[in-house]
Chain A
Amino acid sequence: MTSARAIYTVWHRYFAVFKKNIWYGLVTTFVEPVLYLTSFGFGLGVMIGDMNISGVPVSYRAFVLAGIIGQSVLFVGFFEAAYGAFIRMYYQKIFQAIAVTPVTLSEVLWGELLWCATRATLSASVVLLLGIVIGDFNPLGAVLMIPYCFISGLLFGALGLLVAAKSRTIESISYPQYLLVFPMFLFCGVYFPLSNLPSWMVKIVFLLPLAPILSIVRSATLGLPFEPLALVIQLAWVAILVPLSRRLMMKRLVA
C-alpha cells in the first residue's frame, strides 16, 4: 500500500459515511445556501438593487451569491473538522483505531483534512452551479473556482482541526466559533463590500482568511478586479494552518 492509497482509504471512510447519510448530506449541502440566497439575494437584494464596485456594475443578488460561496466553504470546512474531528478523536476514538493498522496517524489526518476540503467543495459547487444557472456568474470563472474552493476548504478544515486539537471539551469549541468564525462571516464581506468599513478595519479584516478568498471568488465569478495580494495572504494561511493543525493534533494524541 502506498501512502496515497492509505490516505485514500481514510478519505473513503468519510465518503462512505456521507453516502450512508446521503439525505442528511444533501439537505445540509443544498438547502442552506439556497436559504441564504433567497433571504439575502432575493429578499434584501430587491431593496438594494445594483451596485458599482471598483467601476464594475454588479447586482446585489450576484454579489451575495458569490459571498455565500466563501461562507459555505468556511462553515462546512470548519464545522466538519472542528466538531467532526473532535468527536472522531475524543468520543469515537477512530483515529486511535486506524493509526494501529498499516495506515499511520499522519495519513489519517491527511484523510481527515482532504475530506473536509471535499465536503466544503461540494457545498460551494452547489452555489457555483446555481450562479451559472441563474446567469449571475461567468461560467468559466465559476468552474475554475471548484479547485480553488478545495484549497480554501483545506484552509478552513485545518483551522477546524487546530481548534479540535486545542479544545479540552466539545463545549469549548464555541469560543473560536463565536470569536473567530462568526466575526469572519459577518465582517469579511459576505454581505457587503469591504470598502463600506472604515479603512483601519479593512486592513485587519483583509488579513483574516475569508476576506481574501471572497476577493478571489468575486474576481473570477463577477469580473471584479483581481487582487494578487489576496492570493498571497490566503496561500500563506494554508501554508501555516495545514502543517500546524496536523502537528498539534498528533501532539495531542501521541503525547
Chain B
Amino acid sequence: MQPLRVDSLVKNYVTKGRPTLEAVRGISFEVRPGECFGLLGPNGAGKSTSMKCITGFYSPTAGKVEILGLDVHVRPRQARLHLGVCNQDDTLDSDFKVIDQMVQFAAFFGIKKSDALIKATALLKRFDLFDKANDEVEALSGGMRRRLQVARSLLNDPKVLVLDEPTTGLDPEARRMLWDVLAEERKKGLAILLSTHYMEEAERLCDRVAIISKGIILAEDSPPSLIAQQIGTAQVEEELRPGIRIQRAPNLEDVYLKLTGTRLSGAGGK
C-alpha cells in the first residue's frame, strides 16, 4: 500500500450543467514512502486542479485518490489525518499570532492544545521562526509567511505532503532551509508530491517527475532517465546572450521545454 495513489483522475469544470473545460484528463501515479514526486507543467496544464482533487478539496469527475489506501473523497476525515498541504496561495489565518495560528490549526486534526504547543514550538524552531512566535501573522514578511505555511503543513506528522509551488518567493537561504527540512522528513518516510516551476529544484529534489500538459502526463521517470531518453547524453549548445554561446550538459529544463513546447512562465530559466 503506497502513501499516495492517484488512479485515472479526471476533472471537468462544469458551467450551467455543461462541461466547459477538461482540466485533468486521466492521470495516474503513485508516490512511495520517502519519495519526492514532482508534478511539472506550464500554467493551465492541470497541476493545481490535480492538487486540489488529490487533497479532496475538489471532487473529481472520475478516478480516485488514495492516501494510505483510504479514498480521500469517500473517507476524507480518515484519509486527511495523514495529509499535509501547503497551498500555492497564502492560506494562513491572519487573525492569529504565529504560535496561536499553529495551535488553532492543529485542532482541526484533533490535536490537543498541550501537544500542539510542543509540536508547534519544535516546527517554528526548525523553520527559524521561533523568535516570531508571538508576532501577528500579518506582520511577517512574505518569505516568513511561506515558511510558516510549510511548517503548519507538518503539524499532524503527515505521511503524505502536498506542496504546491512551495518555494515561490523564498530567498536562496530560506529555500535551502526548506530543502533540508524536506530531506529530513523523507528519511522518516514522508512521501512528497511537489509542484514547481523551478526545474533546477525539481531536478534536485525529485526522485521522479511527471511532466503534464493539457491535463495528461506526457512523460514520467527519474530526472536523469528523462533527460537521457528525451535529449540524450551529448552536450547541448545554448546562447546565453547575443554572441555568447556555451556547451553544457542537458538538463530537466530542456526536457520540459521540448515536451511542453512552451517557454517557462516562472523564474528559474537559465
Contact = CB atoms under 8 A, between A and B. Distances in A.
Most buried by B among A20, A100, A254: A100
A105 B57 contact: yes
Interface stretch (B29-37, B102-110, B242-250, B251-259): B102-110
A101 B108 contact: yes
Contact of B89 (A20, A96, A103): A96
Contacts of A198: none
B91 A102 contact: no
B87 A20 contact: no
A254 B76 CA distance: 15
A4 interface: no
B96 A9 contact: no
A98 B155 CA distance: 13
A123 to B, nearest CB: 20
Interface string A2-20: 0001100110110011001
B13 A94 contact: no
Given A102-B76, A255-B13, A9 B57 contact: no
A99 interface: yes
Interface residues of A, number: 26
A1 B77 CA distance: 8
A13 B104 contact: yes
A254 B57 contact: yes
A102 B77 contact: yes
Contacts of A102: 76-78, 80-81, 108-110
A93 B90 contact: yes
A105 B89 CA distance: 17
A104 interface: yes
A186 interface: no
B80 A92 contact: no
Given A12-B107, A17-B96, A97-B93, A104 B85 contact: no
Interface in A166-186: none
A104 B91 contact: no
Nearest to B59: A254
Contacts of A6: 77, 108
Most buried by A among B78, B91, B100: B91
B94 interface: yes
A115 to B, nearest CB: 13
B95 interface: yes
A104 B107 contact: no
B56 interface: yes
Given A96-B89, A100-B56, A102-B108, A20 B77 contact: no
Interface in A66-110: 92-94, 96-105
Nearest to A254: B58
Contact of B87 (A1, A9, A13, A93): A93
Given A102-B80, A104-B77, A255-B58, A96 B110 contact: no
Nearest to B75: A102
A106 B57 CA distance: 11
Contacts of B95: 17, 20, 92
B91 A101 contact: no
Nearest to B156: A101
B59 A100 contact: no
Most buried by B among A1, A16, A101, A105: A101
Interface string B88-128: 01111111100010001101111000000000000000000
Contacts of A94: 91, 93
Contacts of A9: 107-108, 110
Interface in B170-205: none
B107 A96 contact: no
A53 B14 CA distance: 54
Contacts of A20: 95-96, 100
A100 B80 contact: yes
B91 A96 contact: yes
A105 B78 CA distance: 15
Nearest to B90: A93
Interface in B142-176: 156
Given A93-B87, A254-B59, 15 more contacts: A9-B107, A16-B104, A17-B95, A20-B96, A20-B100, A92-B91, A93-B91, A96-B87, A96-B91, A97-B105, A99-B57, A100-B57, A102-B76, A102-B78, A102-B109
Interface of B: 13-14, 55-59, 76-78, 80-81, 83, 85, 87, 89-96, 100, 104-105, 107-110, 156
16 contacts: A9-B110, A92-B92, A92-B94, A94-B91, A94-B93, A96-B87, A96-B91, A97-B92, A98-B108, A99-B57, A100-B57, A101-B108, A101-B156, A102-B80, A102-B108, A103-B77
